[in-house]
Structure 1
Amino acid sequence: MNTKILTAAVKIIPNKLQHRAICKALNLLVAKPLNQSKGKIISISVTDLNKKWFVTIDTKGFTPLIIDKNADIDINVEASLGAVMASQRKSRLLNAINSEQIKITAQAPYQQEFVEAIKSIEQPNIDDLVHRGYRYLRMKPPVRLNLATVTFEDVECQLDVDYIRDQAVMLESSNLEQALRLMEIAHKARPEGPFIKDKLFEYRKKLS
């Protein structure tokens, strides 16, 4: 996502709508219950945008919160825009949290619960949020995976397998060797898939 466009959008969108968007994103991403953190104040900061949003957790999930500047914050989430934008894969999100590029600090006992909830986010939820963001900004989303370098280790969910399989089929008439390499990755990730098995057999026979 173009960070300049996103930065401009944040400046234009009213603060009230920004709060709603943040809460909608969190409710979409975080499925794990946060029982200990209900009613607590959460601060979310994007440092290079100089923006800070406040939310809380109630029975409906994350909701916007207007607070006094001197209020005590129970949970702080802080990151640069670059770190957030680079975390569109679960593996990168986990790396960003572990390396504190996305820094989460909280009063006990909320720290572990909140970190575990963020780490439990699944790739399809991230994909859904990213696609919604691109549609809202009327931008073309980036390719899901780099086909030239993708390996089995890059596969994080079933949607990745679908993507690699479909791209292999699209390449079978123009680059059968690449199609075979991709279908082998898909087969390793989904060994019982009948379509993938058949295509793998077909490609190997043609190249033999």
Structure 2
Amino acid sequence: MKKAILSTSLKLIPKAMQYKALTKALNYLFRDQADMVRFDGMVVSFKLIDIRSVWSFQCDGREFSQQKNKKSPVDVICALRSEVALALHSKQEVIRALEQGDIKLVGEPEHIEAVMSLLLGLQPSKVDSLVNHLRSFLRLNPIKRESQIFSSALQQRAMDLGVNLHAITVDQINSSTAVDLVRDAAVELEATDLQESLRLMEIAKQKRPTGPLICRKVEEYRALLMR
């Protein structure tokens, strides 16, 4: 059943769009990891065994992109079945699938070790955020999580900018668009996590110290937290 669901979804989406979405996903998950330098010049393929779908990516040591030269040898193949792919809802489930052999890595030992290191370094919050974006892309129902505190629209904006709202710092904000994102995230959390709202709004204020809404909200949050 799951094989048919995923196979049908992929048939409806052009391959170029699949590559665009997966490239964005890979870079969102891994771009900030120091181990990315170990992938400089490597080609990694992801293969869904049961529906014979393959996506290959090259890496320049900083980020992934679609493989340009199809004749270049693949350094690591990451192979799994559709039902396994659809069950990967968290970092814990990714690690469990690796340990149980449901995700198979094929390649030279040093290349496999590099991939394992990247996967072990995944930020759980990024995996949680990404899962439903990919399910939406595939026209599948979202996974409901109690811990999913940001709206889907806000998470999409964060993914587009390559930032993790759960762990963002002022040094990661390098545009007006990013300031807007952090400000809006703070407002979204007002009713559920006022302390986190204040943290985010204070970050936004460091980048936009005279913003009227930002300044007003910082004072408002501080006053409420002191009661």
Alpha-carbon spacing, 1:139–1:99, altered in 2? closer, same or farther (3 Å)? closer
Moved over 6 A (4+): none
Q: Once the 2 structures are TM-superposed, how far is the Cα of residue 23 of structure 1 from its aligned partner?
A: 1.4
Q: Once the 2 structures are TM-superposed, how far is the Cα of residue 67 of structure 1 from its aligned partner?
A: 3.6
TM-score by length of 2: 0.57
Partner amino acid, structure 1, of 2:81: S
Partner of 1:124: 125
Say if 2:10 is the partner of 1:10. Answer: yes
1:137 and 1:47 map into 2 onto residues whose CA distance is 18
> Structure 2: any 5+ residue segments left out of the alignment?
151-192, 196-227
- Tell which structure's C-alpha radius of gyration is larger: 1
Please tell me whether the aligned partners of residues 43 and 53 of structure 1 are also in contact (alpha carbons under 8 angstroms).
yes
Deviations 1:102-147 (A, max 9, x none): 11122242221111101211221111111212443555423326xx
What is the alpha-carbon root mean square deviation over aligned residues? 2.9
Find the residue that maps to 1:87 and give its secondary structure.
Answer: coil
2:135 and 2:73 map into 1 onto residues whose CA distance is 35
Partner of 1:187: none
2:131 and 2:99 map into 1 onto residues whose CA distance is 22
- 1:62 is matched with which residue: 61, 64, 67? 64
Q: Using the aligned pairs only, state the percent identity.
A: 21
How many residue pairs match? The answer is 151
- 2:38 is matched with which residue: 36, 39, 58? 36
Alpha-carbon spacing, 1:8–1:84, altered in 2? closer, same or farther (3 Å)? same
Please tell me whether the aligned partners of residues 32 and 117 of structure 1 are also in contact (alpha carbons under 8 angstroms).
yes
Q: Once the 2 structures are TM-superposed, how far is the Cα of residue 64 of structure 1 from its aligned partner?
A: 0.3
Find the residue that maps to 1:35 and give its secondary structure.
Answer: helix
Q: Once the 2 structures are TM-superposed, how far is the Cα of residue 59 of structure 1 from its aligned partner?
A: 5.2
Q: Once the 2 structures are TM-superposed, how far is the Cα of residue 55 of structure 1 from its aligned partner?
A: 0.3
Say if 2:108 is the partner of 1:107. Answer: yes
Alpha-carbon spacing, 1:43–1:133, altered in 2? closer, same or farther (3 Å)? closer
> Structure 1: any 5+ residue segments left out of the alignment?
146-158, 164-192, 196-208
Alpha-carbon spacing, 1:36–1:140, altered in 2? closer, same or farther (3 Å)? closer
Deviations 1:88-111 (A, max 9, x none): 122211110111201112224222
Find the residue that maps to 1:36 and give its secondary structure.
Answer: helix
1:29 and 1:102 map into 2 onto residues whose CA distance is 18
Please tell me whether the aligned partners of residues 36 and 109 of structure 1 are also in contact (alpha carbons under 8 angstroms).
no
1:95 and 1:62 map into 2 onto residues whose CA distance is 25
Alpha-carbon spacing, 1:65–1:92, altered in 2? closer, same or farther (3 Å)? same
